[in-house]
Amino acid sequence: MAEPQGFRQNGPARVAGPLAVEDVEGRSKRLGITIDRVLEEYGRIAFTSLHDLVTWDEKGMKIKDDADTSAIIEIVAAAGSGRPYRIKLHDKKPFLDAIIRYLEKLKKDENGSADHDGETARQLLIRELDRLAAEAAEGSGTPEAPR
């Protein structure tokens, strides 16, 4: 059986190897993953409050029919009534931090300044993937697979 692209065999465990930038771009295009979609989802998680999701009445908490449940991690419902009594939301800070990093990068790009000593985003990604592959190879005790 042929190895899936982006994987190599290291003993009994399969270890993901670095994918070429073109492979990542192609995969994200096939899946319809865009920066705008990711930012939209991050925003839905980061800016949702409990009041956007539920209402309260004399019987307790009820999830709104039009609630955007992206921000919810867990719902605990009462055994007897089936009504939720606890809702756990995602931690907003990582999502807010990611949005801020992206907006700061956009601001730097608009001003013509480049991060990482003039490296393009592609060069930075390749360098980072190479670093991760080298770390993985060191951890497995096998030489790095050529790209």
Q: Is residue 97 part of a domain?
A: yes
Q: Is residue 45 part of a domain?
A: yes
H helices of the chain, in order, are 21-31, 35-46, 50-53, 92-110, 121-140
Residue 47 confidence (pLDDT): 94
Domain count, the chain: 1
Whole domain around residue 89: which residue ranges? Answer: 19-108
- Is the pTM above the cut of 0.85? no
Question: Quick one: what percent of the chain has pLDDT higher than 90?
Answer: 35
Q: Is residue 36 part of a domain?
A: yes
Q: Is residue 12 part of a domain?
A: no
Q: Is residue 4 part of a domain?
A: no
If we measure between CA atoms, which residue out of 83, 84, 62 comes closest to residue 73?
A: 84
Distance of alpha carbon 98 from alpha carbon 42, whole angstroms: 8
Residue 145 confidence (pLDDT): 47
Interval 4-14: pLDDT, tens: 555 555 555 55
If we measure between CA atoms, which residue out of 110, 109, 111, 132 comes closest to residue 119?
A: 109
Q: Is residue 135 part of a domain?
A: no
Distance of alpha carbon 144 from alpha carbon 138, whole angstroms: 8
Radius of gyration of the chain from its Cα atoms, rounded to whole angstroms: 22
Residue 65 confidence (pLDDT): 93
Interval 111-135: pLDDT, tens: 665 555 566 666 767 777 777 777 7
